Amino acid sequence: MTLKFARRSVLTTAAAVVFAGSMTTVALAQDKIQLRLSAPSSETDQRAVALIEKFGPAVSDFASFEPSWNATLFAQGTELEAIARGNLEMSITSAQELAVFFPEFSIFTAGYVHQDAAHQVAVFNDALMDPFKKKVEDELGVKLLSVMYLGRRQVNLRQSKADLTVMTPADLAGVNLRMPGTDAWQFLGKALGASPTPMAFTEVYTALQTGAVDGQDNPLPTVVDAKFYEVTKQIVLTSHLVDLNYIAISKKVFDAMTPEQQAAVQAAADDAAEFGRQNQLKKEADLVSFLEEKGLDVYEPDLAAFRNQVQSMYLESEFAASWPEGVLEKINALGN
Ligand code: KDO
Protein backbone atom coordinates (compact mmCIF):
# COMPACT_ATOMS: atom_id res chain seq x y z
CA MET A 1 0.00 0.00 0.00
CA THR A 2 2.71 2.27 1.09
CA LEU A 3 4.66 1.27 -1.91
CA LYS A 4 1.64 1.80 -4.18
CA PHE A 5 0.93 5.11 -2.64
CA ALA A 6 4.52 6.17 -2.89
CA ARG A 7 4.70 4.97 -6.47
CA ARG A 8 1.51 6.72 -7.47
CA SER A 9 2.71 9.85 -5.83
CA VAL A 10 6.01 9.65 -7.68
CA LEU A 11 4.16 9.11 -10.94
CA THR A 12 1.79 11.94 -10.19
CA THR A 13 4.68 14.19 -9.34
CA ALA A 14 6.53 13.11 -12.47
CA ALA A 15 3.44 13.72 -14.58
CA ALA A 16 3.00 17.08 -12.96
CA VAL A 17 6.60 17.96 -13.73
CA VAL A 18 6.19 16.87 -17.37
CA PHE A 19 2.92 18.78 -17.59
CA ALA A 20 4.45 21.87 -16.02
CA GLY A 21 7.43 21.49 -18.36
CA SER A 22 5.26 21.31 -21.43
CA MET A 23 3.22 24.25 -20.18
CA THR A 24 6.46 26.20 -19.90
CA THR A 25 7.31 25.27 -23.48
CA VAL A 26 3.85 26.34 -24.65
CA ALA A 27 4.08 29.50 -22.62
CA LEU A 28 7.53 30.23 -24.05
CA ALA A 29 6.37 29.63 -27.62
CA GLN A 30 3.43 31.93 -26.99
CA ASP A 31 5.69 34.50 -25.38
CA LYS A 32 7.87 34.65 -28.45
CA ILE A 33 7.34 37.58 -30.74
CA GLN A 34 5.55 36.35 -33.83
CA LEU A 35 7.21 37.53 -37.05
CA ARG A 36 5.07 36.48 -39.99
CA LEU A 37 6.57 37.39 -43.36
CA SER A 38 4.69 37.23 -46.65
CA ALA A 39 6.40 37.32 -50.05
CA PRO A 40 5.57 36.32 -53.63
CA SER A 41 8.91 34.59 -54.15
CA SER A 42 9.36 30.84 -53.88
CA GLU A 43 11.13 29.31 -50.90
CA THR A 44 14.08 28.40 -53.14
CA ASP A 45 14.68 32.01 -54.20
CA GLN A 46 17.99 33.19 -52.67
CA ARG A 47 16.26 35.92 -50.64
CA ALA A 48 13.99 33.28 -49.10
CA VAL A 49 16.88 30.90 -48.50
CA ALA A 50 18.82 33.69 -46.75
CA LEU A 51 15.89 34.60 -44.52
CA ILE A 52 15.15 30.98 -43.65
CA GLU A 53 18.76 30.02 -42.99
CA LYS A 54 20.10 33.23 -41.46
CA PHE A 55 17.34 35.49 -40.19
CA GLY A 56 15.01 32.99 -38.52
CA PRO A 57 17.66 31.09 -36.52
CA ALA A 58 19.39 34.32 -35.42
CA VAL A 59 16.25 35.62 -33.70
CA SER A 60 14.82 32.29 -32.55
CA ASP A 61 15.59 32.88 -28.85
CA PHE A 62 12.88 35.50 -28.64
CA ALA A 63 11.00 35.49 -31.94
CA SER A 64 9.12 32.95 -34.00
CA PHE A 65 9.92 33.68 -37.66
CA GLU A 66 7.04 32.41 -39.79
CA PRO A 67 7.56 33.07 -43.50
CA SER A 68 4.96 32.36 -46.22
CA TRP A 69 6.13 32.17 -49.83
CA ASN A 70 4.44 32.27 -53.25
CA ALA A 71 2.07 35.01 -52.03
CA THR A 72 0.05 32.43 -50.12
CA LEU A 73 -0.60 34.73 -47.15
CA PHE A 74 -0.95 38.11 -48.88
CA ALA A 75 -1.14 38.95 -52.59
CA GLN A 76 1.88 40.66 -54.14
CA GLY A 77 1.74 44.38 -53.42
CA THR A 78 -0.66 44.16 -50.46
CA GLU A 79 1.95 43.35 -47.81
CA LEU A 80 2.78 46.91 -46.76
CA GLU A 81 -0.83 47.70 -46.07
CA ALA A 82 -1.14 44.44 -44.14
CA ILE A 83 1.80 45.48 -41.94
CA ALA A 84 0.36 48.98 -41.50
CA ARG A 85 -2.95 47.46 -40.37
CA GLY A 86 -1.24 45.09 -37.93
CA ASN A 87 -2.13 41.92 -39.87
CA LEU A 88 1.44 41.04 -40.80
CA GLU A 89 4.83 41.74 -39.24
CA MET A 90 7.33 41.50 -42.10
CA SER A 91 7.77 41.56 -45.88
CA ILE A 92 10.47 42.01 -48.48
CA THR A 93 9.12 45.07 -50.18
CA SER A 94 10.15 46.95 -53.30
CA ALA A 95 10.77 50.62 -53.95
CA GLN A 96 7.97 50.35 -56.53
CA GLU A 97 5.52 49.29 -53.81
CA LEU A 98 6.71 52.09 -51.53
CA ALA A 99 6.31 54.57 -54.41
CA VAL A 100 2.57 53.84 -54.35
CA PHE A 101 2.48 55.57 -50.93
CA PHE A 102 5.48 57.88 -51.31
CA PRO A 103 6.10 58.98 -54.93
CA GLU A 104 9.67 60.05 -54.15
CA PHE A 105 10.62 56.36 -53.79
CA SER A 106 10.33 56.19 -57.58
CA ILE A 107 13.89 57.50 -57.70
CA PHE A 108 15.00 53.98 -56.66
CA THR A 109 12.78 52.41 -59.33
CA ALA A 110 14.23 54.33 -62.25
CA GLY A 111 16.17 52.35 -64.83
CA TYR A 112 19.96 52.57 -64.77
CA VAL A 113 20.13 54.52 -61.46
CA HIS A 114 21.55 51.85 -59.16
CA GLN A 115 24.76 50.58 -60.71
CA ASP A 116 25.35 47.29 -58.91
CA ALA A 117 24.80 45.42 -55.64
CA ALA A 118 27.47 47.38 -53.75
CA HIS A 119 25.99 50.68 -54.93
CA GLN A 120 22.58 49.61 -53.59
CA VAL A 121 24.09 48.97 -50.17
CA ALA A 122 25.97 52.28 -50.18
CA VAL A 123 22.77 54.14 -51.11
CA PHE A 124 20.68 52.34 -48.48
CA ASN A 125 23.20 53.06 -45.71
CA ASP A 126 23.86 56.67 -46.73
CA ALA A 127 22.31 59.61 -44.89
CA LEU A 128 20.39 60.43 -48.10
CA MET A 129 18.06 57.51 -47.20
CA ASP A 130 17.23 58.85 -43.72
CA PRO A 131 14.28 61.07 -44.72
CA PHE A 132 12.92 58.26 -46.94
CA LYS A 133 13.15 55.72 -44.10
CA LYS A 134 11.68 58.16 -41.58
CA LYS A 135 8.67 58.91 -43.75
CA VAL A 136 7.89 55.20 -44.15
CA GLU A 137 8.19 54.73 -40.38
CA ASP A 138 6.12 57.79 -39.44
CA GLU A 139 3.39 57.50 -42.04
CA LEU A 140 3.13 53.76 -42.72
CA GLY A 141 4.48 52.27 -39.47
CA VAL A 142 7.01 50.21 -41.40
CA LYS A 143 10.72 50.06 -40.65
CA LEU A 144 13.15 49.26 -43.48
CA LEU A 145 15.88 47.13 -41.95
CA SER A 146 18.19 46.22 -44.78
CA VAL A 147 18.49 46.01 -48.56
CA MET A 148 18.39 42.71 -50.44
CA TYR A 149 19.78 42.20 -53.92
CA LEU A 150 17.40 40.72 -56.48
CA GLY A 151 19.73 41.12 -59.45
CA ARG A 152 19.90 42.95 -62.79
CA ARG A 153 16.57 42.74 -64.58
CA GLN A 154 16.71 41.41 -68.14
CA VAL A 155 14.11 41.18 -70.89
CA ASN A 156 12.95 37.59 -71.35
CA LEU A 157 10.81 36.82 -74.42
CA ARG A 158 8.77 33.97 -75.88
CA GLN A 159 9.75 34.84 -79.45
CA SER A 160 12.96 33.33 -80.77
CA LYS A 161 15.83 35.64 -81.63
CA ALA A 162 15.40 34.63 -85.26
CA ASP A 163 11.86 36.06 -85.18
CA LEU A 164 12.67 39.12 -83.10
CA THR A 165 16.15 40.44 -82.39
CA VAL A 166 16.15 43.23 -79.86
CA MET A 167 19.00 45.70 -80.17
CA THR A 168 17.29 49.00 -79.29
CA PRO A 169 14.08 50.10 -77.51
CA ALA A 170 12.43 50.50 -80.94
CA ASP A 171 12.66 46.72 -81.39
CA LEU A 172 10.36 46.24 -78.38
CA ALA A 173 7.56 48.29 -79.97
CA GLY A 174 4.30 46.38 -79.62
CA VAL A 175 5.84 43.69 -77.41
CA ASN A 176 3.37 42.80 -74.68
CA LEU A 177 5.75 42.75 -71.73
CA ARG A 178 4.49 41.62 -68.35
CA MET A 179 5.63 44.01 -65.63
CA PRO A 180 4.58 43.91 -61.97
CA GLY A 181 1.48 45.87 -61.16
CA THR A 182 2.27 49.39 -60.03
CA ASP A 183 2.68 52.65 -61.95
CA ALA A 184 6.42 52.73 -61.36
CA TRP A 185 6.83 49.25 -62.86
CA GLN A 186 4.55 50.00 -65.78
CA PHE A 187 6.50 53.14 -66.58
CA LEU A 188 9.75 51.17 -66.65
CA GLY A 189 8.20 48.86 -69.25
CA LYS A 190 7.18 51.86 -71.35
CA ALA A 191 10.61 53.43 -71.00
CA LEU A 192 12.10 50.22 -72.40
CA GLY A 193 9.95 50.72 -75.49
CA ALA A 194 7.49 47.87 -74.79
CA SER A 195 3.74 47.72 -74.14
CA PRO A 196 3.61 46.78 -70.45
CA THR A 197 0.89 44.57 -68.96
CA PRO A 198 0.44 44.44 -65.18
CA MET A 199 0.31 40.96 -63.68
CA ALA A 200 1.13 39.29 -60.37
CA PHE A 201 4.37 37.34 -60.27
CA THR A 202 2.60 34.08 -59.45
CA GLU A 203 0.68 34.25 -62.76
CA VAL A 204 3.64 34.89 -65.04
CA TYR A 205 4.64 31.30 -65.85
CA THR A 206 1.17 30.41 -67.14
CA ALA A 207 0.88 33.69 -69.03
CA LEU A 208 4.17 32.96 -70.83
CA GLN A 209 3.14 29.37 -71.48
CA THR A 210 -0.21 30.32 -73.01
CA GLY A 211 1.05 33.37 -74.86
CA ALA A 212 -1.10 35.78 -72.84
CA VAL A 213 2.06 37.92 -72.77
CA ASP A 214 5.10 38.04 -75.07
CA GLY A 215 7.60 38.26 -72.28
CA GLN A 216 8.56 39.39 -68.82
CA ASP A 217 11.53 41.03 -67.12
CA ASN A 218 13.39 39.65 -64.13
CA PRO A 219 16.95 38.91 -63.05
CA LEU A 220 18.48 35.64 -64.31
CA PRO A 221 18.27 33.89 -60.90
CA THR A 222 14.51 34.52 -60.90
CA VAL A 223 14.17 33.36 -64.52
CA VAL A 224 15.75 30.08 -63.44
CA ASP A 225 14.09 29.74 -60.02
CA ALA A 226 10.62 30.33 -61.51
CA LYS A 227 11.47 28.12 -64.53
CA PHE A 228 10.52 30.87 -66.99
CA TYR A 229 13.22 29.43 -69.29
CA GLU A 230 10.89 26.48 -69.95
CA VAL A 231 8.38 28.78 -71.66
CA THR A 232 10.62 31.44 -73.28
CA LYS A 233 13.25 31.46 -76.01
CA GLN A 234 15.50 34.46 -75.48
CA ILE A 235 17.00 36.84 -72.96
CA VAL A 236 18.08 40.32 -73.90
CA LEU A 237 20.68 41.49 -71.39
CA THR A 238 19.40 45.02 -70.98
CA SER A 239 20.32 45.14 -67.24
CA HIS A 240 17.79 47.96 -67.08
CA LEU A 241 17.25 47.84 -63.33
CA VAL A 242 19.58 46.69 -60.58
CA ASP A 243 16.66 45.47 -58.53
CA LEU A 244 16.28 45.43 -54.77
CA ASN A 245 13.93 44.51 -51.99
CA TYR A 246 13.96 46.05 -48.54
CA ILE A 247 13.52 43.79 -45.51
CA ALA A 248 10.56 45.50 -43.84
CA ILE A 249 9.19 45.06 -40.34
CA SER A 250 6.27 46.56 -38.42
CA LYS A 251 7.60 49.55 -36.48
CA LYS A 252 5.12 48.85 -33.71
CA VAL A 253 6.44 45.31 -33.29
CA PHE A 254 10.06 46.50 -33.54
CA ASP A 255 9.55 49.31 -31.02
CA ALA A 256 8.05 46.86 -28.52
CA MET A 257 11.29 44.82 -28.51
CA THR A 258 14.07 45.32 -25.98
CA PRO A 259 17.17 47.15 -27.28
CA GLU A 260 19.03 43.80 -27.33
CA GLN A 261 16.27 42.19 -29.39
CA GLN A 262 16.21 45.15 -31.77
CA ALA A 263 19.98 44.88 -32.24
CA ALA A 264 19.66 41.14 -32.89
CA VAL A 265 16.88 41.68 -35.46
CA GLN A 266 18.93 44.37 -37.22
CA ALA A 267 22.06 42.20 -37.30
CA ALA A 268 20.06 39.17 -38.49
CA ALA A 269 18.52 41.20 -41.31
CA ASP A 270 21.92 42.55 -42.37
CA ASP A 271 23.48 39.07 -42.27
CA ALA A 272 20.63 37.55 -44.26
CA ALA A 273 20.82 40.34 -46.83
CA GLU A 274 24.58 39.88 -47.24
CA PHE A 275 24.29 36.08 -47.50
CA GLY A 276 21.50 36.37 -50.07
CA ARG A 277 23.41 39.02 -52.03
CA GLN A 278 26.52 36.86 -52.35
CA ASN A 279 24.50 33.83 -53.42
CA GLN A 280 22.47 35.84 -55.90
CA LEU A 281 25.61 37.39 -57.42
CA LYS A 282 27.18 33.94 -57.80
CA LYS A 283 24.05 32.63 -59.50
CA GLU A 284 23.80 35.62 -61.79
CA ALA A 285 27.36 35.05 -62.98
CA ASP A 286 26.81 31.32 -63.57
CA LEU A 287 23.40 31.25 -65.16
CA VAL A 288 24.07 32.48 -68.71
CA SER A 289 25.62 29.14 -69.66
CA PHE A 290 22.82 27.23 -67.91
CA LEU A 291 20.22 29.16 -69.92
CA GLU A 292 22.15 28.65 -73.17
CA GLU A 293 22.26 24.92 -72.44
CA LYS A 294 18.47 25.07 -72.10
CA GLY A 295 18.38 26.42 -75.66
CA LEU A 296 17.78 30.12 -75.02
CA ASP A 297 19.59 32.86 -76.93
CA VAL A 298 21.20 35.19 -74.39
CA TYR A 299 22.73 38.34 -75.84
CA GLU A 300 23.55 41.97 -75.16
CA PRO A 301 21.67 44.69 -77.05
CA ASP A 302 22.87 48.24 -77.74
CA LEU A 303 23.09 49.18 -74.06
CA ALA A 304 23.77 52.86 -74.72
CA ALA A 305 20.54 53.06 -76.73
CA PHE A 306 18.54 51.54 -73.86
CA ARG A 307 20.25 53.62 -71.19
CA ASN A 308 19.75 56.89 -73.11
CA GLN A 309 16.09 56.29 -73.80
CA VAL A 310 15.25 55.05 -70.30
CA GLN A 311 17.14 57.83 -68.52
CA SER A 312 15.69 60.60 -70.65
CA MET A 313 12.14 59.25 -70.29
CA TYR A 314 12.50 59.21 -66.50
CA LEU A 315 13.97 62.69 -66.32
CA GLU A 316 11.05 64.05 -68.36
CA SER A 317 8.44 62.09 -66.38
CA GLU A 318 6.16 63.09 -63.53
CA PHE A 319 8.14 60.67 -61.37
CA ALA A 320 11.26 62.85 -61.52
CA ALA A 321 9.18 65.81 -60.36
CA SER A 322 8.72 64.00 -57.01
CA TRP A 323 12.43 63.33 -56.49
CA PRO A 324 13.83 65.49 -53.70
CA GLU A 325 16.35 68.08 -54.87
CA GLY A 326 19.91 66.80 -55.12
CA VAL A 327 19.20 63.14 -54.28
CA LEU A 328 19.92 61.80 -57.76
CA GLU A 329 23.30 63.54 -57.69
CA LYS A 330 24.04 62.03 -54.25
CA ILE A 331 23.09 58.56 -55.51
CA ASN A 332 25.31 58.99 -58.56
CA ALA A 333 28.20 60.21 -56.39
CA LEU A 334 28.04 56.96 -54.37
CA GLY A 335 28.60 54.90 -57.52
CA ASN A 336 31.58 54.44 -59.79
C1 KDO B 1 8.24 40.55 -60.10
O2 KDO B 1 7.03 40.54 -59.80
O3 KDO B 1 8.64 40.48 -61.26
C4 KDO B 1 9.23 40.71 -58.97
O5 KDO B 1 10.54 40.44 -59.44
C6 KDO B 1 9.15 42.11 -58.38
C7 KDO B 1 9.98 42.20 -57.12
O8 KDO B 1 9.84 43.47 -56.51
C9 KDO B 1 9.61 41.11 -56.14
O10 KDO B 1 8.37 41.37 -55.60
C11 KDO B 1 9.67 39.77 -56.83
O12 KDO B 1 8.89 39.76 -57.99
C13 KDO B 1 9.12 38.64 -55.97
O14 KDO B 1 9.78 38.59 -54.73
C15 KDO B 1 9.26 37.30 -56.67
O16 KDO B 1 10.62 37.02 -56.95
pLDDT in tens, 73-113: 999 999 999 999 999 999 999 999 999 999 999 999 999 99
CB distance 40 to ligand 1 below 6 Å = yes
Q: What is the pLDDT of residue 147?
A: 98
> Hey, which residues does 151 pair with through a beta bridge?
243
* From 22-31, 76-85, 149-158, 224-233, the region with the lowest mean pLDDT: 22-31
**Distance from Cα 109 to the centre of ligand 1, integer Å:** 13
159 pLDDT exceeds 50? Answer: yes
Q: Is residue 67 lining ligand 1, measured as CB closer than 6 Å?
A: no
- Helix (H) or strand (E) holding 177, with range, is strand 176-179
pLDDT in tens, 192-222: 999 999 999 999 999 999 999 999 999 999 9
313 closest CA partner among 172, 136, 102, 156: 172
Does 45 sit in the ligand 1 pocket, CB within 6 Å? yes
DSSP 186-219: HHHHHHTTSEEEE--GGGHHHHHHHTSSSEEEEE
Least confident of 2-6, 86-90, 239-243: 2-6
What pLDDT score was predicted for residue 28? 55
Q: What is the mean pLDDT of residues 151-156?
A: 98
Query: Is any ligand 1 atom within 6 A of the Cβ of residue 238?
Result: no
Q: What percent of the chain clears pLDDT 90, i.e. is strictly above it?
A: 90
Q: Ligand 1 in contact with 41 (CB < 6 A)?
A: yes
For residue 229, the CA-to-ligand 1 centroid distance in Å is: 16
Ligand 1, atom nearest to 216 Cα = 3
CA–CA distance, 192 with 171 (Å, rounded to integer): 10
